Structure 1
Amino acid sequence: MNNLKITFLLLFILTNLKSVAQNSNAEKILGCWIFKELQFSEQVDFAEELNKNAKNTVVCFTPDGNFTNTKSGVESNKINGTYKISEDGKTIIQKSDISSENEDESAEIHSIDDKLLVFKLEFGKMVFERK
């Protein structure tokens, strides 16, 4: 009987730990982040230009599932959209007002803490710093 109680207790603890981890990325991502750099996994000729053009772009995530993406000082370059964090807390799925009708964009949340947010994409990593 003690083994059964221990098994249920372990299942309960593991289930709750999983849900805490899932919520933590959804909570940690809230607020505004400043784009710092795109780290390509392979050599790309236009990497420097792309980083220069995107530098200091601000992305803000709100609790209601909306986000804005604004190039610093350029209101006309504002992009709006919606996002959600996957059930396992490891992926962000976005749809913006410039996306194709049925096309969602997703990225793996490589790491996130109070200061840095890193998305892993097919071609490299996007690094953001908390605003």
Structure 2
Amino acid sequence: EHGLSKWEHGLSKWEHVLSKWEHSLSKWERVLSNLSKWEHGLSKWGHVLSKWEHGLSKWEHGLSKWEHVLSKWEHSLSKWERVLSKWEHWEHSLSKWERVLSKWERVLSKWERVLSKWEHWEHVLSKWEHSLSKWELGTCSF
């Protein structure tokens, strides 16, 4: 009878241990389920980022063409500045050309601001790509 009581006590301890393991396993199942949801979400973000990247590359292409145009305009403007400086004795004509140049400088200034904003977005995209690659490599911890 004493031996039977010890066996029952031992079995109840093992049942307690098994119950804790089952509880722990159910928690791990929930963690794994959440990880698959995160993986699904990350793949969606990867898709979104690739679309952004495609769009930004198109904008970069367009901006590089505008930069080329603007550099030609700047070159042309610098040539006109030299021409106008040689004709300083024509004050009336010179003042008109100076107003035109001022307008072009404002236009160029506006384009420079636009280009700087795009450089900022390129930097943001690069950070997103870096974060995404860390997720894909599994180097981020929860």
Structure (1/2) with the larger helix percentage: 2
Question: By the TM > 0.5 criterion, same fold?
Answer: no
Q: Using structure 2 for the length normalisation, give the TM-score.
A: 0.30
* Bigger radius of gyration: 2
Higher relative contact order, chain-length normalized (CA < 8 Å, sep 6+): 2
Structure (1/2) with the larger strand percentage: 1
